[in-house]
Amino acid sequence: MKKQLLVLLIAIFIGFGANAQTKSSETNVLVLIYSQNGGTYKMAKAIAEGVQEYPNTKATLKRVPSINPKEKLNADVEKLPVATIEELANYDGIAFGSPVHFANISADMNYFFNQSIPLWTSRTLEGKPATVFMSAGSGAGKEAAILSFWNILASHGMVIVPTGIMGTATLDKTVPQGNTPFGATSLAGSTGTRPSQSELNLAKEQGKALARVASGLKNTENIKSVKTTSAETKSDINKTLKDNNIVLPEAPKPVGNYVPFTISDHKVYINQVALKDGKILNPGKVGATVSEDQAKEATYQTMLNVIAVLKEACGGDLNKVKQCVQLTGYFNTTPEYTQHAGLMNSASNLTALVFGEKGKHARATIGAASLPINSAVEIQAIFEIE
């Protein structure tokens, strides 16, 4: 009887601790903008203010890099940290802000999302809530611009949060406004202070709405994880691959006097290059003949090859993997190239997606003057297996 009581008390304390941890988990929301003259930046600050008014929620304000590095930006905008496409995966919700350019988003924001192919193929942003706000000089095309942005977000499977009729009760109808049911906008070219107070109020409400959705989705996931037993949390790698439409290639065969992998003390050692269908994918030197997007695609393919070889090492059962210990990426780059880590994220994101917690690894990235058969990337991987 005493033993049963002790077990019950332990279970209660564990459950309390898990619930306390869930409640204390902070929701992180990114407010990401492109702004040249500062109008969108002012709206972004109101969005961030609304986000942080929601309990236990933090807002981070960043900007996308300018296509033209010599472009003169508003002084406050210039001070903002520059985001990378890979870090979008780290947030629980994202608010995107841009000026309206010909009934569309700015070229700078569009170029930023052109780098998101690895996030799209790995479904990294799927299920994350997102909202859009904009600033338009004449007011023309603002709704079309927001809807065009929605198309991008929908392609990533993000949960879109519109404004509807929120904030209309405090709307100052005596001045022109840029508001829409899709997202807050500023009529930047109108007279008077811009954004107007009504426009800022709506942006603030929009930030609160996004924080509410992001927090709700995050807490739902936390509750699921608390209630799930250890037996239930054991994932099936094959199901993960199928659910994420990841098709492993046939494991590349050695072309010399070596083996595709070795196993020592339950550690599997693998080296692979960007081979696809018998040919090197996007061969050449990054920073010269190979673009960053092509290099990321080659990195993703190389990691697929690593996992295919790993499957052979596990006797066809990837569920035998206990941990990804180390990934080292070698990149064929020009001497002045420095963005190796951004390229390697394509491999790290794929590994984390396939193996979950077991996919979290130590990592190194190294630039090389050349690589075998002119591959843009080579990955060395160490996994622990049962």
pLDDT in tens, 221-278: 655 444 444 444 457 899 999 888 999 999 999 888 999 999 999 999 999 999 999 9
**Confidence check: pLDDT of 220 > 80:** no
* Per-residue confidence band for 139, with pLDDT thresholds at 50, 70 and 90: low
Query: How much is the pLDDT for 221?
Result: 64
**Residue of 1 and 286 predicted with greater confidence:** 286
**Confidence check: pLDDT of 95 > 90:** yes
**Confidence check: pLDDT of 24 > 80:** no
Query: How much is the pLDDT for 222?
Result: 56
pLDDT in tens, 304-320: 999 999 999 999 999 99
**Confidence check: pLDDT of 346 > 90:** yes
Task: Give mean pLDDT, residues 189-205.
Answer: 79
Query: How much is the pLDDT for 137?
Result: 66
Q: C-alpha angle with apex 116: 104 to 355, nearest 5 degrees?
A: 150
Residue with tokens 């947030």: 91
